[in-house]
Structures are given as structure tokens and as C-alpha cells.
Structure 1
Amino acid sequence: MKQPDVDHLSGIETTGHEWDGIKELNNPLPRWWLWTFYACIAFALVYSVLFPAWPLIGGGTPGLLGYSTRGEFHREVAAAQSEQAANLAKIAAMPVAVIAADPALAAFASAGGASAFKVYCSQCHGSGAEGGVGYPNLNDDEWIWGGSIDQIYQTIAHGARSLGDDQTHDSIMPNFGSDGILTRDQIRSVALYVASLSGLAGGEKTPEGEQLYAQNCAACHGPDAKGLQAMGGPNLTNAIWLYRGSVDGIVAQINHPRLGMMPAWGAKLGDVTVKELAVYVHGLGGGQ
């Protein structure tokens, strides 16, 4: 029988392993460590019996307590919905202007509107509602269809040029160039006149341009070019341009205009969500 190898300095038996003359002592594990290890094993066994733990073919063991994080989530959501139900019922029953006049209810509606905006509106208007080329900025005071809370509600609910909604905002700017209403030189002349109204580079006021504007544009944009919300005609005298704010951009828009379309969200989202969106958008600071 082989005799155990004992370290001559410490007098402790070694494991028999040696690396470059260094031997590993066969010291027993500390008792506290062993008891902690055993406790962990016991805890794991108890946990696997009480809680979901072991995967099976069709699911997993449910545990004696029947607890699950999914179930806890659904309970928390149900509790939150129950707490919100009273406010949602008020929003459903009240006109949007009355909701905005109630600070507590307006804060609740605005929070819901902010969430809905990120899901349904930010793709076009931007996450901060700052807009972009072809998509209006909702933070300023320039509103093609009106910026009161009731007008914003109407626009969100029924959209603009939205097919299938008979209450949608609808206005058509003629194709002055591609349909032969104006010649190329006439379009250039009226574009220079319009550009001069807002101080764009290259703009020029001429009698011909002013006359062409009065004959072809004033009916929708107003005699003073400050826009007519009833016609959906934007203000042409400020620095806010939905498309390119340049002489060439104006020429392109007069020649063959781009006409934006906004979906009618009322049927898709429901009246409560549309009201929440209206309160949120109106509260961005640009509402009238």
C-alpha cells in the first residue's frame, strides 16, 4: 500500500499533485463554507418545488405556490387599468376643451397622449414633434387647419385628404405648370413675388408677379398672403415652409404641388386616444 505523501514543513498530507516542485496541501474546506454550500443546495431544492423551475416538453413545472412573473405583470396591469378607468370614463364623456381646462385630468390625458404620439405620430412629425420637410412642426404657432384644441382634435380624428372619411380636411392646389394654367415665365414671376413676401434670397416684387398672385393664389392664401385656414392655405409671409423655402422650391410647388396626407386616426385609435393626443399636442406650446 502506497504511503501518503506528507509535507515535511507543515506536516499536512498532500493531494499528490505537484507543479514545478510545488505540492498542493490536502487541507479540508472550512466548515462555514461547507455549511453555506449545503444551505444553497437545500434552498435550490425548496425553490424548485415552490416556484416554476424545471422545463418540460409542454411548458414547465408550475411550482406549489403557482407564482409567475407573467402573472404578476398581468395583475399589475389590471390594477393600473382599474385605477385609470375613472379618468378614462371622464375623458370619454367630456369635450376635449373641457378636459384641457381641468389641470389634473389634462395632465392624465397628456401623459396618455405622449405615449400614443410616440407610437403613431413620431414617424412623421419627429419624436419631439419638430416636424420635417413635408411634415408640420407642432411646436410653433403656424397651423394650416387651425391650432385651437378643438381644431387639433378635428384634424387628428379625421386627418387631411384621408380617403374614406367625409369629414377630412381637403384642399387641392392646382398644378399650375403641368396642367398648363400658367406658363414657365409666369410661374417664375409669381414665385419671385411670393419669395419676396417672406424675405427669401432672390425674391423680387414685380407688378406682373403681384397681379398673377392676386388672380391665382389669393383665393386660398389670402390677399395679404397670410393664409386662410378655412381653405387650408398656409401663410406665405413668414419663414416657415412645409417644403423647400427657396425660389426653386416655390417654383416646383407651383408647377406640380406636393399635397400631404394625414390618416384619419379617429376610427383606428378611438375617441379617447384622439382626445389625449389633442391635449398633448396642444400642450406642446404651439397651440392657439
Structure 2
Amino acid sequence: MAVEERDPHTGYMTTGHDWNGIKELNTPVPRPVYFFLIVTALFSVVYWVLMPAWPLGVTYTKGLLGIDQRNVVADSLKQAALERGVWTKRIEAGGFKEIQADPKLMEVVRQTGRTLFGDNCAACHGLNAQGGHGFPNLTTASWLWGGDPESIAETIRVGINSAHLQTRSSQMMAFGRDQLLKKDEVDNVVIYVRSLSDPAVAKQAPAARMDAGKAVFAANCVACHGDDAKGKADLGAPDLTDRFWIYGGDAESIANTVWGGRQGQMPSWEGRLPPLDRKILAVYLFDLRPGER
């Protein structure tokens, strides 16, 4: 039978168990542990009394404080709506320049606009709004239908070649496929168009072909792109003198465009986004351009 004894070093009694000369002490539980256990138990009782806690079939104990997390969330949403209403009313009533001149409103526009763009526009134009093949870069000053906030807002509203009755409509004709131009005329005008944005092409191309291409351009392209080839926002015709190309600015891409034509499409967002969201998006996109901040 195991015999208890007092450990001479700690003063605690042993349990009487011995393992290869190692004796087990009957060390008492520290008093702080009892203290925290008592506090925890008291806290539990108080919590059960004050807060919703115990299920009772189809209901539950409400607690003396009557706190309901659903009501807390509902109150938070109401408060958020009130706070949102302060700046939404200012944006709805203010003009574009007025909004842009207000740093606090622009902070809201940048935060909210980023979310709206990511949810609705990034699938085509990319998260950074720099577009891709067939989708324009929205961070530059090169806009088909005008890059001021008013024009951007209208484009968002009605779309481009969309089902909206007031949609912006534009189309690049298939000059080669529809036999409006001969193969050599297409080749010459491609060289000339490339030279408008790339001086190196102008230096390398034979003068005769440049002149021939310029003549083809004057006879077929200036009606939309203008005598200076800088495009016409009222027609949705792009500027051919900069380096921003929707379908690519290399010789093959431009040749494919001239030969087969292009007809981009953007859906109308009038039925998808409320006027406030479209207005925020317009200001946000304008703000993405270099030098606008």
C-alpha cells in the first residue's frame, strides 16, 4: 500500500506514488485558478440574465437588456444610410466641376467608384482600367466619344451600338472585304496610318507609297477621322495620331481593321445602375487620367 509522506523540499504531501524513485507531489490547485473559475461562473450567470441566451422551443430568453443582434445590424444599416445620404445628396445635386473641386467628395468618389468599376466594368476594361485587345484604355485622354465627365456619363447611360434607343452608334467599314478598296490601296493606307503615330514608319516607307496612302485616306477616311486624323468625338471615330490603339497599332492589326472593319459594343447601363452610380463612375473614370488629380 502506498504511503504518503511530506516532501522535504516543497513541503507538499506526496500522493504515495513512486516511479523509479520519482515521487508524485500532491500539489494544491493555485488560488488564482479558483478565483478565475468563480469569476467566470458569475459572469456566465450575469450574462444569461442580461443577454439573450437560452433557446425555448420556437423562441429564446430575451435577457433583461433586450439586445437583439438583428436590431443592432438594422440600426447600423440605418446609420450607414444616413451617413451615405449626406454625400449622395451632394453628389446628386452637384455639377461635375463642383464635385471635382471638393476633396472630401472626391475621396468618396474614388472609394465608391473603384468598387463600382470592379463590379461592373473590370471584366472588359481590366481592374486597372487599361483595357486590352478590343477594349479601350480608360486611363488616357483618348476617348472615342469624348472624355469629359458629361460625355463619359452619357456613354455609360446609353452604351455603344447597344439595344438602347439613344445608343451611340459607330462602325468602321470593311473596306477590303466589301471591295471598297483594292489590296494595294489597303496596304498603302495602312502604311500612311501607321506613320501618323510612328515617325519611324514615315522615314522608312517609300515616298510613293506614302503619297498613295495619303490619297486613299483623304478619299475614304477623313469623313470620320478628320483631315488631321485626330478623330471626331461626335462620330466615335478614334484619333489615329496617338499611340493608343484598341485593336493594335502594328501593321497586321491595322490591316485587319481596314480590311474587315470594326464594330465595338458597350452595353447600356441605364437599366442596370442608378443615376447616382453612373455619375460616380463618370467622375471616377475622368479622375483616372494623368494630371486630373
Provide the residue aligned with 2:192 in structure 1: 193
Contact 1:149–1:287, Cα closer than 8 Å, also in 2: no
Q: CA deviation at 1:149?
A: 1.6
Deviates more, 1:44-53 or 1:224-233: 44-53
CA contact (8 A) 2:197 2:243 kept: yes
* Separation (CA, whole Å) in 1 of partners of 2:197 and 2:5: 98
Change (3 A) 1:130 1:58: farther
Matched, 1:183 2:182: yes
The residue correspondences of 1:252-263 to structure 2 (distance < 5 A) are 252-263=256-267
| 8 Å CA contact retained: 1:176, 1:254 | yes
Counterpart residue number, 1:23: 23
Q: What is the root-mean-square deviation in Å for CA atoms of aligned residues?
A: 3.0
Q: 1:183 to 1:30 in 2, by over 3 A?
A: same
Shift of 1:101: 4.8
TM-score in terms of structure 2 length: 0.83
CA gap 1:68/1:192 in 2 versus in 1, 3 angstroms: farther
Runs of 4+ more than 6 Å apart: 55-60
Residue 171 of structure 1 corresponds to: 170
**Residues 200/17 of structure 1: CA separation in 2 closer, same or farther (3 Å cut):** farther
CA shift, 1:140, in A, is: 1.7
1-structure distance, mates of 2:262, 2:56 = 59
Instruction: Output the CA distance in 1 between the equivalents of 2:53 and 2:223.
Output: 73
- Note the 1:1-288 alignment, pairs <5 A: 2=1, 4-7=3-6, 9-10=8-9, 12-53=12-53, 63-102=63-102, 104-163=104-163, 165-199=164-198, 204=205, 206-286=210-290
Cα deviations by residue, 1:124-168 (Å, 9 ceiling, x for unpaired): 2233323333222222211111111211111122221221x1222
Q: What secondary structure sits across from 1:15 in the alignment? A: strand
SS in 2 for 1:230: coil
Give the distance between the partners of 2:219 and 2:19, measured in 1 at CA: 101
What is the SS of the residue equivalent to 1:196? helix
Pairwise CA distance, 1:43:
1.5
The one-letter amino acid of 2:264's match is G
Write the letter of the residue equivalent to 1:44: S
Does the 8 Å contact 1:130/1:138 carry over to 2? yes
CA offset digits 1:211-231 (Å, max 9, x no partner): 221222221111221111111
Is contact 1:176–1:255 with CA below 8 Å preserved after alignment?
Answer: yes
CA 1:6/1:95 → structure 2, altered by over 3 Å: closer, same or farther? same
The total of aligned residue pairs comes to 286
* Cα separation, 2, equivalents of 1:199 and 1:9: 96
How many Å apart are 1:70 and its aligned residue? 4.8
Q: Which amino acid aligns with 1:140?
A: T
Q: What 5-or-longer segments of structure 1 have no aligned partner? A: none
Amino acid at match of 1:199: D
Give the AA of the match of 1:272. Answer: L
Structure 1 contact 175–256 (Cα < 8 Å) conserved: yes
For the residue of structure 2 that corresponds to 1:229, the secondary structure is coil
Q: What's the secondary structure of 1:79's corresponding residue?
A: helix
Shift of 1:40: 1.4
Letter in 1 for 2:156: I
Change (3 A) 1:35 1:140: same
Cα 1:176–1:58, aligned 2, differ >3 Å: closer, same or farther? farther
**DSSP-derived class of the 2:263 partner:** coil
C-alpha contact 1:202 1:247 (8 A) present in aligned 2: no
